[in-house]
Amino acid sequence: MKSRLWLNLVLLVGIAVLAAFAYFKPGIHKPRPSAILTTLQAADINSIKIERTGMPAVELARTGSGWQMTAPLKLRADQYLVKALLGSLHTDVSSSFPAIQTNLGKYGLDPPRLRLWLDTTEFDFGDTEPIHNNRYVKSGDTVLLTDSLLYYRSNHTPLWWASKRLLPEGAHVIGLQLPNTTLTLKNGKWQLAPANPAISSDAIQTLVDNWKNTQAIGTAKIGTGKSQGEVAIELAGNRQPLRFAILQDPDFLILARPDLGLEYELDSGQRPGLLELKSSNTSSTPANKPAKLPRHQPAGSPVH
């Protein structure tokens, strides 16, 4: 009887030792949390500045209606590009070393390839190291090694940051003058001049919606293309209509805003959906399905 009691006690002790071993895992150290590039939170950032060698600095500011470009031009910013940039802040850092008494030119940091300011915090981007292709980033007195995602999402030509939307978000169109047709909204109904009974109200609404929803595949400084006509759009609340010049181009539909010094590049297949009213027995090409890369896609920058 006593031997059985001792056996049960030995088994209980053994079980307790195994449970303690499993819980405390002696000799096994929990990995430290990965270091990240910055602890800044996207929602707390109100200004962004980007400097690239040989190009004007880009300055972006958060406003109540979204991000705006304040330099080199005053334009509405591409909200998606800004969101993508701010979504790349917490990238992992594989290693780091002090920047003091370091030959920064050896790492492409003197001068840096690109400078980025998030409010008052500066990040300088240099070269990539050859083994894992991680990029050298100087922040304060430290050089960090991290992936290049934030660099690529910052590395755009200045006008690439301009909004690709033809019209402001939420715009209410009350008039639309095409090269051969004029549309006017009166008492909630669209009036067409010259009148054409073959054009349905649905076709008119589709064309207006195309202008409200279409985004260009690229933006650039206005070029020297020859004008082939003009589109004027009246918006509720605006004293003057927005005017787009239709520029001649063999491969793209180019709509230029002379008042902004900016041109919007669209796939040529979007022309019918924006510039033509089709009768009910004719179908038009959807206006918002770009198929080509823009002419001014920044070199070395992935499409996000």
pLDDT digits (tens, 9 = 90+) for 112-148: 999 999 999 999 999 999 999 999 999 999 999 999 9
Dist CA 301 CA 283 (whole Å): 36
Task: Indicate yes or no: pTM above 0.85.
Answer: no
| pLDDT attached to residue 25 | 47
Give the chain's end-to-end CA distance (angstroms, integer). 76
Q: Is the pLDDT of residue 19 over 60?
A: no
**What are the residue boundaries of the structural domains of the chain, listed by start?**
42-161, 173-275
Burial of 12 from C-beta contacts in 10 A (0-12 / 13-18 / 19+): exposed
pLDDT digits (tens, 9 = 90+) for 140-181: 999 999 999 999 999 999 999 999 999 998 899 999 999 999
- Choice between 194 and 303, residue whose per-residue pLDDT is larger: 194
DSSP type of residue 141: T
pLDDT digits (tens, 9 = 90+) for 252-278: 999 999 999 999 999 999 999 999 987
DSSP string, 183-218: EEEETTEEEEES--TTS-HHHHHHHHHHHHH-B-SE
| pLDDT attached to residue 27 | 43
Dist CA 110 CA 104 (whole Å): 5
Dist CA 85 CA 79 (whole Å): 10
